[in-house]
């Protein structure tokens, strides 16, 4: 997070004057500075839990507990075996203790935790969480504490223990706003100057003109085709399948490593919890996947959930601001950030904390700003996921979703009864008309201070459309399917910031599923792994530009590249020659300041032609430097690298089989985001369930010595799936290890 770094130099300079003190600390006995803490007392956390972990032949944990709390205990223990380091990072970040472990670079996170009053919210609201949910969270942290007691050598920061249920809540309160870029909004306030103008109330005619423009460019919605957080969700009902089946895919595009990487697990209890799917580090439930009766999955959406206000400060009192004609006092506090600088030397940095009726306040030379965002003060995220996990039918699941506090994410759904559903889930503020909410807002009037959200029933949503399918690929909710069942964009004010652009993945999904009226299981699978670009996509337009007159004389190598691109079939298959040039060109185009690809360009059809040609020249240079030619098969460049595993891949940015790579020094892309944990689920006409899944690496996230560190990678590269076993007999027939922690 690029926040507050411009202030760190003054703190570090001041610390040079404290070197004598630092030296004294460094030479003090070990026991004076508690870097090593005896955690053996945490072994008592094991008492009272009845749980068995069955790891199948792929290392996937199936946790069987008597109670839900027992299953949560086992889930935590199993996940800690595979990724305890990342789980700790998640909790440390939510506690605002990252700088204690990782030094000054992590301090902006800790400042954010204190500035947003995360722990004040938790202390105030924790007891509103129902006892059964508290019990699940207690079981989860007891599993982590017990693991820490048995593995103290893996503990990064002993002071973070014991973990508490409140830490679990804090993890969600801290992490979820980052999905709608709250950190970027905060970082913007710490820039050297003001980044946007203040919106003034517009006339009705001015408002119409602004609305006509903003409908294609929602606030804070810069979209690069290499966006890190993409996803697909697709459901097909019996009305569109050849045998009356229901098909569903769980297909998030998350980073392949780190704190938001999927982990596959299966939890079962005698209290009716039976859920399999993906979860993120620090989660005591499955985040998305399926149980016996129903399935759901998320994709990231981009409603406008953050607003920045400019406060008018009293010239006679810097701690007062004008609001509705009165001077109100800012709430003034102090953040205390404990930072490890080197060795055993820690330093407490103090930073001003301010709060207004809008929310947290930042004082800068170029202004005083207040921040307001959706979901402030909410702590019920774990309850929502838990209720969704345990839902046994459409009505129970819908109740959990519609009454929960989750502030964003498109959600797709399917069930054994043949129901399919899509909702543009969001806690969208109801804002005053007449302001340009893409800009900063005047903070001196209650007219801009929203307090209510668009009711869930009024969100864009589609239930059992006549077309028989729904899809979303980080795209407009107004083109969820084909036919008359799509939500009407005219019913939604531009102040809501609902996106209307279409990704290539969405265009392809509408084409593939819209043209096939009798979808089979093999076809559903093939469509999910589609690797084509639509001619109307940015990539299609890029190729069209290269097909036009060049702005400069072409070298023989450039001429070959142009020929390969213009004859390319827009498919990013492993053996494609055109895909190599196209994706490299797009990589350099996205790096160009001139060519930040925005949603409006997907509508207006404009890409900077000069930048496209310059980017193609860079792509040719990379290929010549590293391969000695320009006709290089895509799989030689597009790679999955994990330890000693190095595999060629198909797929590419913004195709349904999405693979996003980081360009390395050898001229190859190392995959790091995109298709990762995938599930394909179906129910037949009798409600019988079939499920398959894959992970880009394997269940052992960090253990390089584990056989499951990269054992799924060859299947992933070949676009194959493994079976998901749910019945205990099937799991034991494919058992790798059984144990009781």
Dmax over Cα atoms in the chain, in whole Å?
Answer: 78
C-beta of residue 507 within 8 angstroms of C-beta of residue 513: no
Q: Is 208 exposed, middle or buried (0-12, 13-18, 19+ CB in 10 A)?
A: exposed
pLDDT one-digit tens code per residue, 180-207:
999 999 999 999 999 999 999 875 555 4
In a domain, 701, yes or no: no
Mean pLDDT, the chain, integer = 90
d(CA 577, CA 634): 6
Beta strand 420-424 with 306-311 is: unpaired
The dihedral of CA 20, 26, 31, 37: what is its sign?
positive
Q: Is residue 4 over pLDDT 60?
A: no
Which pLDDT does position 703 carry in this prediction? 83
Tokens of 605: 């059809």
570-579, 589-598, 630-639, 641-650: segment of lowest average pLDDT: 589-598
Classify residue 425: in a domain, yes or no. no
pLDDT tens for each residue of 287-310: 999 999 999 999 999 999 999 999
> Is 672 in a helix, a strand, or coil?
strand
| pLDDT tens string 40-91 | 999 999 999 999 999 999 999 999 999 999 999 999 999 999 999 999 999 9
What are the distances in angstroms from CA 666 to CA 321, 357, 589, 638, 739? Answer: 55, 53, 20, 12, 44
Structure tokens at 476: 């407009």
> Per-residue pLDDT tens for 412-426?
999 999 999 999 999
**What would the 3-class secondary structure string for 158-176 be?**
HHHCCCCHHHHHHHHHHHH
Residue 665 lies inside a defined structural domain of this protein: no
428 and 454 Cβ atoms separated by less than 8 Å: yes
Q: 589: helix, coil or strand?
A: helix
573 domain residue, yes or no: yes
In 3D, which of 548, 584, 553 has the Cα closest to residue 566?
548
Confidence label for 36 from pLDDT (cuts 50, 70 and 90): low
Q: Look at residue 105 and tell me if it is in a domain.
A: no
What is the CATH number for 572? 1.10.1400.10
More confident residue, 160 or 335: 335
Q: For residue 702, what pLDDT is reported?
A: 82
**Average of pLDDT values for 585-610?**
64
Give, rounded to a whole angstrom, the gap between the first and last alpha carbons of the chain: 37
**Domain range enclosing 551:** 538-655
d(CA 263, CA 261): 7
Strand 246-255 and strand 313-314: the pairing is unpaired
What's the pLDDT at 216? 29
What single string gives the DSSP state of each residue in 518-546?
Answer: SB-HHHHHHHHT--BPPTTSHHHHHHHHH
Kindly state whether residue 579 falls inside one of the protein's structural domains. Answer: yes
Q: What is the distance between the alpha carbons of residues 252 and 234, in angstroms, rounded to a whole number?
A: 11
Q: Does residue 698 belong to any structural domain of this protein?
A: no
510 vs 26, more confident: 510
Asked whether residue 26 carries a pLDDT value surpassing 90, the answer given is no
Q: Which residues contact 569 (CB under 8 A, 6 or more apart)?
A: 532, 576, 578
Kindly state whether residue 597 falls inside one of the protein's structural domains. yes
Give the span between the Cα atoms of 676 and 263, in whole angstroms.
10
Q: What is the pLDDT of residue 21?
A: 35
Give the dihedral sign, CA 270/273/276/278: negative
d(CA 242, CA 10): 68
User: DSSP letter at 7?
Assistant: G
Please give the pLDDT value at position 205: 53
Who contacts 735 (Cβ-Cβ below 8 Å, separation ≥6)? 54, 55, 56, 57
Q: How many distinct structural domains can be found in the chain?
A: 1
SS (H, E, C) 29-91: CHHHCCCCCCCHHHHHHHCCCCEEEEEECCCCEEEEECCHHHHHHHHHHHHHHHHHHHHHHHH
């Amino acid at each position: 997070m690029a926040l507050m770094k411009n202030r760190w130099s003054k703190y570090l300079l001041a610390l040079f004057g404290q070197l004598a003190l630092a030296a004294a600390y460094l030479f003090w006995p070990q026991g004076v500075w508690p870097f090593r803490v005896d955690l053996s007392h945490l072994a008592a956390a094991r008492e009272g839990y009845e749980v068995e972990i069955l790891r199948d032949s792929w290392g996937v944990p199936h946790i069987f507990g008597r109670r839900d709390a027992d299953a949560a205990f086992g889930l935590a223990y199993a996940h800690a075996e595979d990724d305890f380091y990342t789980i700790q990072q998640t909790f440390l970040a939510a506690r605002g203790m990252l700088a204690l472990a990782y030094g000054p670079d992590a301090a902006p996170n800790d400042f954010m935790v204190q500035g947003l009053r995360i722990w004040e919210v938790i202390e105030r609201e924790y007891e509103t969480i129902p006892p059964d949910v508290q019990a699940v969270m207690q079981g989860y942290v007891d599993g982590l504490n017990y693991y820490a007691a048995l593995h103290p050598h893996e503990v990064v920061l002993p002071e973070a223990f014991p973990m508490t249920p409140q830490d679990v809540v804090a993890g969600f309160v801290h992490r979820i706003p980052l999905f709608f870029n709250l950190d970027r909004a905060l970082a913007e306030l710490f820039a050297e100057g003001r980044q946007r103008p203040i919106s003034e109330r517009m006339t009705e005619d001015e408002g119409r003109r602004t609305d006509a423009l903003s409908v294609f460019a929602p606030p804070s919605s810069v979209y690069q085709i290499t966006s890190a957080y993409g996803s697909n969700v697709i459901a097909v009902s019996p009305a569109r399948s050849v045998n009356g089946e229901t098909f569903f895919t769980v297909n998030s595009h998350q980073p392949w490593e780190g704190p938001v990487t999927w982990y596959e697990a299966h939890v079962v209890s005698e209290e009716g919890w039976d859920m399999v799917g993906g979860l993120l580090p620090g989660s005591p439930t499955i985040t998305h996947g399926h149980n016996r009766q129903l399935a759901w999955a998320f994709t990231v959406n981009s409603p406008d959930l953050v607003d920045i206000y400019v406060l008018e400060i009293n010239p006679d009192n810097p701690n007062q601001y004008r609001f509705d004609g009165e001077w109100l006092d800012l709430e003034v506090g102090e953040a205390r950030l404990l930072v490890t600088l080197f060795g055993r030397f820690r330093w407490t940095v103090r930073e001003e904390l301010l709060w207004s009726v809008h929310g947290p306040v930042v004082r800068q030379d170029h202004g005083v700003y207040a921040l307001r965002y959706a979901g402030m003060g909410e702590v019920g995220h774990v309850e929502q996921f838990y209720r969704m996990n345990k839902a046994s039918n459409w009505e129970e699941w819908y109740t959990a979703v519609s009454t929960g506090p989750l502030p964003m994410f498109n959600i797709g759904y399917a069930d054994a009864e043949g129901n399919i559903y899509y909702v543009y889930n969001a806690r969208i503020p109801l804002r005053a008309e007449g302001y340009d909410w893409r800009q900063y807002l005047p903070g001196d009037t209650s007219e801009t201070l929203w307090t209510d959200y668009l009711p869930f029933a009024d969100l864009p949503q589609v239930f059992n459309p006549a077309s028989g399918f729904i899809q979303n690929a980080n795209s407009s909710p107004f083109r969820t399917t084909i036919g008359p069942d799509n939500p009407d964009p005219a019913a939604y004010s531009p102040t809501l910031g609902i996106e209307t652009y279409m990704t290539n993945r969405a265009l392809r999904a509408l084409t593939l599923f819209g043209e096939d009226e009798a979808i089979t299981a093999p076809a559903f699978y093939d469509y999910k792994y589609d690797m084509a670009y639509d001619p109307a996509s940015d990539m299609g337009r890029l190729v069209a530009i290269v097909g036009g007159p060049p702005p400069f004389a072409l070298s023989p190598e450039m001429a070959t590249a142009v020929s390969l691109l213009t004859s390319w079939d827009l498919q990013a298959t492993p053996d494609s020659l055109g895909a190599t040039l196209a994706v490299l060109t797009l990589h350099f185009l996205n790096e160009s300041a001139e060519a930040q690809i925005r949603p409006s360009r997907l509508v207006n059809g404009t890409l900077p032609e000069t930048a496209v040609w310059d980017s193609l020249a860079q792509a040719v240079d990379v290929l010549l430097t590293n391969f000695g030619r320009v006709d290089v098969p895509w799989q030689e460049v597009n790679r999955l690298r994990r330890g000693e595993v190095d595999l060629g891949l198909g797929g590419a940015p913004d195709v349904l089989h999405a693979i996003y790579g980081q360009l390395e020094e050898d001229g190859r892309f190392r995959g790091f985001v995109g298709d990762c944990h995938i599930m394909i689920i179906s129910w037949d006409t009798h409600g019988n369930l079939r499920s398959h899944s894959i992970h880009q690496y394997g269940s052992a996230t960090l253990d390089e010595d584990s056989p499951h560190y990269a054992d799924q990678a060859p299947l992933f590269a070949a676009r194959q799936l493994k079976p998901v076993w749910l019945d205990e007999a099937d799991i034991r027939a494919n058992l790798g290890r059984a144990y009781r922690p």
